[in-house]
Amino acid sequence: MRDPVAVVAAGLVTPIGQDIDAFWASLLTGGCGITRIERFPVDDLRVRLGGEIKKLDRRPWTAGECRASQLLIAAAAELRSAGAAMLDSSPARTAVVIGTALGGVEEGERALAGAPSLRALAGGLYDSPARNLARWLGARGPVMTVSTACASGATALGVGAELLREGVADVVVAGGYDVLCRFVMKGFDALRSLTRDAIRPFDRRRTGLLLGEAAGLVLLARVRDADARRAPRLGRLLGHSSGSDGSHIAAPDPNGRGLEYTVRAAMDDAGVAPGAIDFVSAHGTATPLNDRVETLVLKRVLGPRAYDIPINSIKGYMGHTMGAAATLEAIMCLLAARHGAIPQTLGLEQQDPACDLDYVPGAPRAVRPRVMLSTSAGFGGCNSTLVLEGL
């Protein structure tokens, strides 16, 4: 196993909670953040529901920042309060790695709709929110934006871990975000990915996903550096992998080849065998093909023990938050280990016989996992897997 990376702190802003405690409470109580979208016109859209953040509780940003930057900085404000000792230790050696599926597309949409200002045009660039976050943090190390569709949040954590392992940075703020706007809603609808029904991962009645917006961040450091500064700890990132199956612009590979590769490679990177896995956070989009393919991949990789491992999807709580999803799911894994509970798969009521693993229906499970997989799959065949260890 290569050097593990400490997850020192986390921060998030989601439709079901704008801090770690509220987020976790919603996951345990089945709180759902899916509502009718109010921030932009939806009357002409086929699907008008999503995981929209109605009002931001924290406002630590500079006036005029784009919404994506606002979400990131609000999430970073919580992270900073827990990880200040690490963040303030060496600004020149602090890196920022942010994943996003669609970047500043809302600002680009706004600029095209009217007389574009320089700020709006700059906000429409893919890397603008990450740069704004780095400036707010005072981070002067590498600033990177990565985009691997809806696996972007996991890819960002993996890239951040490599910056630490290679000695490029001493502290990394990594995570992901995406925001809702008309362009995003219409694009996913054109791909026939959205449902008019509830999100039902692994349910035989599932008909698609709904979108959400969020930002999630984690503070990463080498374990020895976190120990030296007596920094708090959520857990460890043991391993990661990214890969592509290149099968289709929107659908996963029917045999799950790319996802299977990343799960196996991430476990190899972490130095753990299938028998060590205690819990899986599945991508679980509630699209007919994704859930079936993910089930097949987990059976192939984990063998007969796949039937004994709890597996969940949290997309029913707040929709598919795209670039933020994998980071939020990684945070959920570490909270599950800390609190000894695994949130239920909200929306799963009539399990699909083809999805016959333990997908935690009905209620949270009183289990304290130690080693966990978090799988992610995105359009274009982008796949990523994280291996996490709880404390």
Tens of each residue's pLDDT in the chain, 391 residues: 577 899 999 999 999 999 999 999 999 999 999 999 999 999 999 999 999 999 998 788 776 788 999 999 999 999 998 888 889 888 999 999 999 999 888 887 877 777 667 766 776 688 999 999 999 999 999 999 999 999 999 999 999 999 999 999 999 999 999 999 999 999 888 888 899 999 999 999 999 999 999 999 999 999 999 999 888 899 999 999 999 887 777 778 889 999 999 999 999 999 999 999 999 999 999 999 999 999 999 999 999 999 999 999 999 999 999 999 999 999 999 999 999 999 999 999 999 999 999 999 999 999 999 999 999 998 888 999 999 999 9
Task: Find, among 259, 273, 329, the residue nearest to 302 by Cα.
Answer: 273
| Residue 240 and residue 263 in one domain | yes
| Residue 253 and residue 206 in one domain | no
At CB < 8 A and 24+ separation, what contacts does 23-28 make?
A: 23/328, 23/331, 24/332, 24/335, 24/339, 26/317, 27/314, 27/317, 27/332, 27/335, 27/343, 27/364, 28/341, 28/343, 28/364
In angstroms, the CA 160 to CA 168 distance is 10
CATH code of the domain covering residue 107: 3.40.47.10
Q: Give the model's pLDDT for residue 59.
A: 81
Q: Give the model's pLDDT for residue 115.
A: 60
| Residue 215 and residue 86 in one domain | yes
Q: Give the model's pLDDT for residue 234.
A: 97
Q: Give the model's pLDDT for residue 63.
A: 67
| Residue 120 and residue 53 in one domain | yes
| Residue 129 and residue 267 in one domain | no
Is 283 marked active-site?
yes
Using alpha carbons, list the distances in angstroms from residue 216 to 3, 43, 174, 196, 324. Answer: 24, 30, 8, 27, 6
| Residue 269 and residue 156 in one domain | no
Residue 97: which residues within 8 A CB-CB, separation 6 or more? 130, 142, 144, 146, 156, 157, 159, 160, 163, 172, 173, 174
| Residue 218 and residue 257 in one domain | no
Residue where a domain terminates, one of 174, 206, 228: 228
Is 240 marked active-site?
no
Q: How many domains does the chain have?
A: 2
Which of 181, 283, 355, 382 is an active site residue? 283
Sequence-ordered alpha helix ranges (H) in the chain: 20-29, 67-87, 105-113, 118-123, 128-137, 152-165, 182-190, 223-228, 257-270, 288-302, 315-318, 325-339
Q: Give the model's pLDDT for residue 324.
A: 98
Which of 150, 181, 333, 382 is an active site residue? 150
| Residue 249 and residue 280 in one domain | yes
Helix (H) or strand (E) holding 238: strand 235-244
In angstroms, the CA 104 to CA 98 distance is 12
What are the residues facing 100 on neighbouring strands?
177
| Residue 242 and residue 220 in one domain | no
Residue where a domain terminates, one of 206, 228, 250: 228
Residue where a domain terminates, one of 205, 228, 251: 228
Query: Domain residues for 367?
Result: 236-390
What are the residues facing 209 on neighbouring strands?
194
Residue 152 CB coordination number (10 Å):
33
| Residue 259 and residue 336 in one domain | yes
| Residue 345 and residue 298 in one domain | yes
Which of 320, 333, 355, 382 is an active site residue? 320
